[in-house]
Amino acid sequence: MQRLQKVIAHAGVASRRKAEDYIVQGRVKVNGEVVKELGVQVTSKDKIEVDQVPIYQEEPVYFMFYKPREVISAVSDDKNRPVVTDYFTEIKERIYPVGRLDYNTSGLLLLTNDGDVSQKLTHPKHEVDKVYVAKVSGVATNKKLMPVTKQMTIEGKKVAPAKFAILSTDTQTQKSIVQLTIHEGRNHQVKNMLKACGLPVEKLKRERYGHLTLENLKPGDYRELHKREINRLLEDSKN
Ligand code: URA
């Protein structure tokens, strides 16, 4: 037995929050009857419809993907640019990215058809650590980067303190490699934080998401995650 909104989210129809709205709006039927209360329990034998369209109860699946640069973190793009799901043509489930990486950012991205897990992992209060490595313009110093360890205000919003490490600097080319660990996921957060320190990002890669690393994946590769790996991410995101 599972909660109705969770099953709708699993089917890839909507996030769990949206599924709750659909239920309250009277757009959901279970075995032909409109159900408007939240929390009704259903099984895989129940016939569920959203706006008269039956939903197919997919098994939840989870993948980690090494997103290449110049790929959109979405399932479609109105400008016809490559999207992350182009790499999953052999996967029949309707998966979508958990959060996003910028078009020009490479690295570890999760994809799933489990709206509930996706929502939990992207909730601002419960996000896991994410480690980014940036090539920046300028010579990084502890002094320049110190602001990221305090609460910065970026575009009028307070962002949580981050950790940094300077991996290398080159005074000749005036470039540095900096590692930044954050747990939120605001748009362009790493680029904005480093820019505010006077170190504009030239290249960005996400190397770690919670306990998951890219292992030996190459750009464009993916691997399926075990349920225990997802459970660990959910556990870690509660802290
Ligand atoms: N921060 C950014 O600036 N870009 C990303 O893609 C991810 C985090």
Over the chain, what is the mean pLDDT? 93
Q: What per-residue confidence (pLDDT) applies to 14?
A: 85
| Cα(183) to centroid(ligand 1), Å | 12
Dist. CA 148–CA 184, nearest whole Å = 13
The confidence band for 60, taking pLDDT boundaries of 50, 70 and 90, is confident
Same domain? 30 vs 139: no
Dist. CA 115–CA 98, nearest whole Å = 9
The CATH number covering residue 162 comes to 3.30.70.1560
The CATH number covering residue 226 comes to 3.30.70.580
Residue 131 pLDDT > 60: yes
Same domain? 77 vs 89: yes
Same domain? 93 vs 204: no
Angle at 40 between CA 37 and CA 42, to 5 degrees: 145
46 is catalytic: no
Same domain? 78 vs 102: yes
Same domain? 199 vs 82: no
Beta bridge partners of 204: 105, 134
The predicted model scores a pTM of 0.83
Q: Which residue has the higher pLDDT, 123 or 190?
A: 190
Mean pLDDT value across residues 103-111:
98
Which amino acid appears at position 180 of this protein? Answer: L
What percent of the chain has a predicted confidence (pLDDT) above 90?
74
The CATH number covering residue 17 comes to 3.10.290.10
Atom number in ligand 1 closest to CA 73: 6
Atom number in ligand 1 closest to CA 206: 7
Dist. CA 49–CA 81, nearest whole Å = 33
Residue 28, domain extent:
2-54
Tell me the best of 106, 186, 188, 206 to mutate to test the pocket of ligand 1, counting ligand atoms within 8 Å of each CB and taking the most: 188
Same domain? 220 vs 197: no
Q: Within a 13 Å sphere around the CA of 64, how many CA atoms are in the beta-carbon half?
A: 21
Residue 31 pLDDT > 90: yes
Sign of the four-CA dihedral 38, 44, 46, 52: positive
